[in-house]
Structure 1
């Protein structure tokens, strides 16, 4: 009887360890973008954002170069963790790729002033835009943050990542859009 309890306890512990490992990997792992083209017509990204001064800017103004669009917020820990990788990618590819770091500005929890101060304090130099019209969130169906979209030079979405991505995944996405 004692051996059976010991075996059941060991099996239960093993199951808990396996489940914890799977959950840890799911929660902390980075999503590697996959090509979503799949022979289907690509979705074209159409939205407007505001710059820090409040000027409305249409995504179509960025046509001619592929783009990386990241939806983020200062209250999102995964968003903050991936910002250094975006800064590194911006430094490396800013002449070949548009970077649109689109802050999920809601005017209450996330304001232009709060996000702008955060970017300045962090020493980030990539361009930041503000989704004050909620057009980017609606266009991309942003139900969670962060989300990253990779578009070709005509604004067609080539691939995307839902959740935190690392530098390797970001590089893979950029290579996909540079090849288009």
Structure 2
């Protein structure tokens, strides 16, 4: 009897974990809108003050990718983002945001950022820069999920053409590359 209860309990837990994982894949992650991020102050690649919303054309899907040149998962993710950017062309907003600790950031000298973008095929991207405060605003409620002492990048947010957040990811593993491309394309065509 005890063994049967253990089997039943284990089966129920396995089923619940499967249902939860499936729900997470299908549901919007936080339900935010791109408009809620429009006021966040950033800097252009050249150092001019801009607001995130100034780079978002309404009626287009939006991809926001937050990265740093010293981040190995960011380096691995970048070519997949570049491929999606080139495949989808101008049909969506592509915001590539460099997260910095300071201005200048001692961990990301300009030549290191340039090398990172070159290797990824993104040297032509007019990226934006977020300081720690702006990054925390972009991350929003997800900030609580970042482990103590971690930076929490790369981070990817997808918004559909209506401006609704439909996907969020944190971290990157090379084995997920093809899935990431497909997810971006699906989100961008809704």
Q: TM-score, length-normalised on structure 2?
A: 0.64
Q: 1:170 aligns with which of 169, 173, 181?
A: 181
Greater displacement, 139-148 / 106-115: 106-115
Greater displacement, 126-135 / 60-69: 126-135
Shift of 1:104: 0.9
Asked if residue 148 in structure 1 is aligned to residue 156 in structure 2, the reply is yes
Name the residue aligned to 1:49.
Answer: 42
Distance in 2 of aligned mates of 1:174 and 1:84: 15
Partner of 1:54: helix, strand, or coil?
coil
Name the residue aligned to 2:67.
Answer: 72
Could you tell me which runs of 5 or more consecutive residues in structure 2 were left unpaired when the two chains were aligned: 1-23, 147-151
Distance in 2 of aligned mates of 1:44 and 1:92: 25
Partner of 1:160: helix, strand, or coil?
strand
**Structure 1 residues 137, 170: closer, same or farther in 2, change over 3 A?**
farther
Task: Report the number of matched residues.
Answer: 145
Name the residue aligned to 2:57.
Answer: 63
Name the residue aligned to 2:107.
Answer: 109
Asked if residue 34 in structure 1 is aligned to residue 18 in structure 2, the reply is no
Partner of 1:134: helix, strand, or coil?
helix
Shift of 1:44: 2.3
Alignment RMSD, CA only?
Answer: 2.6
Name the residue aligned to 1:137.
Answer: 136
- The structure with more radius of gyration: 1
Name the residue aligned to 2:125.
Answer: 126
Q: Deviations over 1:135-171 (max 9, x none)?
A: 1333214531111100123543111111115133232
Q: Deviations over 1:34-63 (max 9, x none)?
A: 34338xx82124123211111222222203
Name the residue aligned to 2:89.
Answer: 94
Shift of 1:112: 5.4
**Structure 1 residues 174, 71: closer, same or farther in 2, change over 3 A?**
same
Q: TM-score, length-normalised on structure 1?
A: 0.68
Partner of 2:179: helix, strand, or coil?
helix
